[in-house]
Amino acid sequence: MRVDKEYINKLQKESQEIRDTLVEITSKNGGHLAPNLGVVELTQSIVEVFDLPKDKLLFDVGHQSYVYKLLTGRKDKFKTLRTKGGIGPFSDPKESNFDFFIAGHAGSALSAGAGIAKANPEDKVIVVIGDASIANGHSLEALNNIGENLKNLIVILNDNEMSIGKNVGSLSKFFGKLMISNAYMNIRKDVRSVISKGKVGNQVKSVLERIEHSVKQFFLPSSISEVLGYQFLGVIDGHNLEELIKTLTVAKEMEGPVFIHVKTEKGKGYQLAEENKEKFHGISPFNPETGEVESGGRTYSNIFGSKLVELAESDKSIYAISAAMVKGTGLGDFQNRFEDRCIDVGIAEGHGVTFSAGLAISNKKPYVAIYSTFFQRALDQLIHDVGLQNLPVRFIVDRAGIVGEDGKTHQGIHDINMFLSMPNYRVLAPTTGTELEEMLEFSKDFKDGPLAIRFPRGKAFELEGTLKNKFELGIWKEVRKGKKNLYLVTGAMLKEIVDIEAELLRKGLDGTIVNCSSIRPLDENFILNEFSKYENIFTFEDGYERGGFGNEVVRFLNEKKMKININIIALDSVAIPHGSRNVLLEDYGLRGKKLIERIEGSINGEK
């Protein structure tokens, strides 16, 4: 490919236009700004060099795919990013044929890319993966398995931190350029040809191979990739278009697998993001001039973090564990105050869960704070290492229920049925911020097994006058007294029922509202003594119906041979797309008018 000054200038102008668009749209819609600012030139170069979509490009996680969306026919719709029916937050084949494989969770791209490369040997398959994701166990398994077998696979390490290659320096950069020069590639090809044809003795062959290996080990952070069977190129400046295009052009002609190490700067080109990379990694709508985000009040995550600090001040056995989400889960202050007791395991949820089991079996009090959607990644460890041993690990299930704009890969709608399917777990869902604090206070000295405490994203709900009685495990509390109808409400659904309470009353649908924040154990005495007093009984939850809270109530009734009909208000087992949380809640019948219609329809015998 001919790379002249005019061509590069044109691409550089496009780079600035892309960055301006990224800032403009994410300031209105929110999103992953800093990661995308860092991969502008890299993405441009990939699009220029490869024959997409015949060649396949996969982004691990997919949060850094905004630039790719802009360059592959989605520019006109980009203003709809993360809104209902608009451009999605991650890679999705249903959105474009340029997105070959769905993304959202870390570690899948290498495995998927390997499978795609195996099935499509005539096409190039390019995988872009970050320096955090590549340390994930899933990624390492794939790297190990791929080996020398796939000649059409190109792995690009997007290194935007100092965790990889921080001591490389200028000599490594020089040698990286040397490795992709025509002279070097020709010499390398000739030497390997001579060796392969047996034109030198074994002793000379061994010396040549050792020299090549030693020199590259001295200059480059390539030893791991080459031991695993990859040809290594790098380290490449991820913002130098000319260098990127030349490197990718060489990689395209090589028989792989090829591993390219690219250094980028997260937040590149937008000063506020360069200065505060973590804040702008994933951000709500903000003022593009100041970077300020409108305060939404005290969140459940904030409450958890503050309360845990309070508890840890007087109890040195309390530990906090996070999987690359310390600040996101409200643990920033805890980390500052108790650095030795705050363990960030990185994108390694399975390890984090078993690590916490080790703490618990050693009489420590671990609190494992992970987003609901990412707990799915540790299913085996939750069952085998914690559940079977009945260890008192406290699992803080953040972002439970419908989370909104991050879409179907991030909705927290699997956790209730997941934890209910495991042995020995107690499952709690606070209905207010105050109740979350009470649960955390209770959890501190709970020793009878694992606890899962789930709460939604965003501002904490508080009931006027608060709940009359403090949280007790296995005890449900009446919030409002009524007659014919019984509304059993768990977690975030209390707010939704309270919000429509006046309309229910107007329609003659009012009833007793009960706070069922203890999902397991159920309040068996309440069920046995109170259910028979009501004509219509409803359960409400913001997760899947199958295996959820309502099903747990039905199971208990069946065990006791009580013939009482239960109307379960929950989600069907469908993928929930992206959009604002409130809009999605109403669309799926868990909020406002649609929720009233579901209640009314159930009472009238409608499906």
Is there a domain that residue 235 lies in?
yes
The residue assigned the tokens 């996680």 is 61
**Is 184 annotated in some ligand binding site?**
no
pLDDT in tens, 71-123: 999 999 999 999 999 999 999 999 999 999 999 999 999 999 999 999 999 99
3-state secondary structure of 314: helix
Q: Which strands sit side by side in the sheet containing 153-159, from one edge to the other?
A: 56-59, 125-130, 153-159, 258-263, 231-237
Residue 466 pLDDT greater than 80, yes or no: no
Beta carbons of 152 and 363 less than 8 angstroms apart: no
Angle, helices 40-49 vs 241-253, to 10°: value is: 40
pLDDT at 205 over 90: no
Query: Do residues 537 and 567 touch, judged by C-beta distance below 8 A?
Result: yes
The reply to whether 365 belongs to the active site is no
Residue type, 280: F
Give Rg (Cα) of the chain: 27
Catalytic residue status for 349 = yes
For tokens 């699992």, name the residue.
395
* Same domain? 333 vs 432: yes
DSSP, res 325: -
The CATH number for 139's domain is 3.40.50.970
In a domain, 287, yes or no: no
Q: What is the pLDDT of residue 175?
A: 40
Q: Give the C-alpha separation, 160 to 266, whole Å.
A: 6
Q: Is the pLDDT of residue 170 over 60?
A: no
* Residues 13 and 106 both lie in one domain: yes
Q: Which two tokens stand for residue 574?
A: 């469908």
Q: What is the mean pLDDT of residues 304-328?
A: 97
Percent of the chain surpassing pLDDT 70: 88
Handedness of CA 492, 495, 498, 499 (dihedral sign): negative
| DSSP calls for 401-449 | B---TT-TTT-B-SHHHHHHTSTT-EEE--SSHHHHHHHHHHHTT--SS
Report the domain count for the chain: 4
Residues 6+ apart with CB under 8 A from 508: none
In a domain, 492, yes or no: yes
Examine the domain organization and report whether 251 and 205 are in the same domain: no
Alpha carbons 356 and 73: distance in angstroms, whole number? 46
Residues ≥6 apart with Cβ < 8 Å to 469: 477
**Residues 6 or more apart from 166 whose CB is under 8 A from it?**
none
- Please tell me whether 315 is known to bind a ligand: no
**Catalytic residue status for 581:** no
181 labelled binding-site residue: no
Residue 104 annotated in ligand binding: yes
Q: Answer yes or no: do 145 and 189 share one domain.
A: no
Residue 354 domain-assigned (yes or no): yes
List, edge to edge, every strand of the sheet that includes 536-544: 477-480, 511-515, 485-489, 536-544, 567-571
Burial of residue 97 (CB within 10 Å: 0-12, 13-18, 19+) is: exposed
Does 370 lie in the same domain as 252? no
Q: Using CA atoms, how far apart are residues 578 and 240, in angstroms rounded to an integer?
A: 34
Instruction: Say yes or no: 174 and 148 in one domain.
Output: no
In a domain, 294, yes or no: no
| pLDDT value of residue 324 | 92
Task: Report the pLDDT value the prediction gives residue 163, as an integer from 0 to 100.
Answer: 41
Q: 77: domain range?
A: 5-164+229-272
Is 101 within 8 Å of 116 (Cβ atoms)?
yes
Q: Calculate ∠ Cα 137-140-142, nearest 5°.
A: 110
Helix, strand, or coil here: 521?
A: coil
Tell whether the model's pLDDT for residue 578 goes beyond 70.
Answer: yes
Q: Could you tell me the two tokens for 593?
A: 């008018």
Q: What is the pLDDT of residue 40?
A: 98
- Which amino acid, one-letter code, is at 104? G
Q: Is 156 inside a domain boundary?
A: yes
Spatial separation of the C-alpha atoms in residues 377 and 77, rounded to whole Å:
32
Q: Are residues 410 and 324 in the same domain?
A: yes
119 in a known ligand binding site: no
- Per-position DSSP letters for 233-291, written without gaps between them: EEEEETT-HHHHHHHHHHHHHS-S-EEEEEE--TTTT-HHHHH-TTTTTSB-SB-TTT-
Which tokens belong to 416?
């209730």
Token pair recorded at residue 156: 């690009």
140 assigned to some structural domain? yes
Catalytic: which of 41, 48, 243, 349?
349
| Burial readout 503-540 (b: 16 or more C-beta within 10 A, e: otherwise) | ebeeeebbbbbbbbbbbbebbeebbeebbeebebbbbb
Q: Which of 110-114, 147-151, 273-277 has the lowest mean pLDDT?
A: 147-151
pLDDT at residue 217, rounded to an integer: 47
Q: Does the structure show a pLDDT above 90 at 420?
A: yes
Q: 107 CB contacts (<8 Å, ≥6 apart)?
A: 60, 133, 136, 137, 138, 139, 142, 347
Q: Is 589 annotated as a binding residue?
A: no
Confidence grade of residue 171 (pLDDT, cut at 50, 70, 90): very low
How high is the pLDDT of residue 2?
A: 72
pLDDT in the model for residue 149: 80
- For residues 445-469, average pLDDT: 90
Q: At what angle do helices 182-196 and 169-179 cross, to 10 degrees?
A: 70
Q: Both 143 and 190 in a single domain?
A: no
Whether the pLDDT of residue 219 is over 70: the answer is no
Same domain, 304 and 441: yes
Residue 164's pLDDT band, with cuts at 50, 70 and 90, is very low
Q: Does residue 317 share a domain with residue 202?
A: no
- 160 marked among binding-site residues: yes
Are both 245 and 139 inside the same structural domain?
yes
Eight-class DSSP state of 460 = P
502 is in an annotated binding site: no
Distance of CA 210 to the CA centre of its chain: 42
Q: What's the chain's average pLDDT?
A: 90
Provide the CATH number for the domain around residue 504. Answer: 3.40.50.920
Average pLDDT over residues 479-496: 96
Annotated binding residue at 410? no
User: What would the mean pLDDT of 180-186 be, rounded to a whole number?
Assistant: 52
Mean of the pLDDT values across residues 19-48? 97
From the candidates 69, 177, 266, 341, give the one annotated as an active-site residue: 266
Q: At what angle do helices 202-219 and 182-196 cross, to 10 degrees?
A: 150
| Same domain? 131 vs 261 | yes
> Is 371 known to sit in a ligand binding site?
no
pLDDT tens digits, residue range 361-412? 999 999 999 999 999 999 999 999 999 999 999 999 999 999 999 999 999 9
Q: Indicate whether 3 pLDDT > 90.
A: no
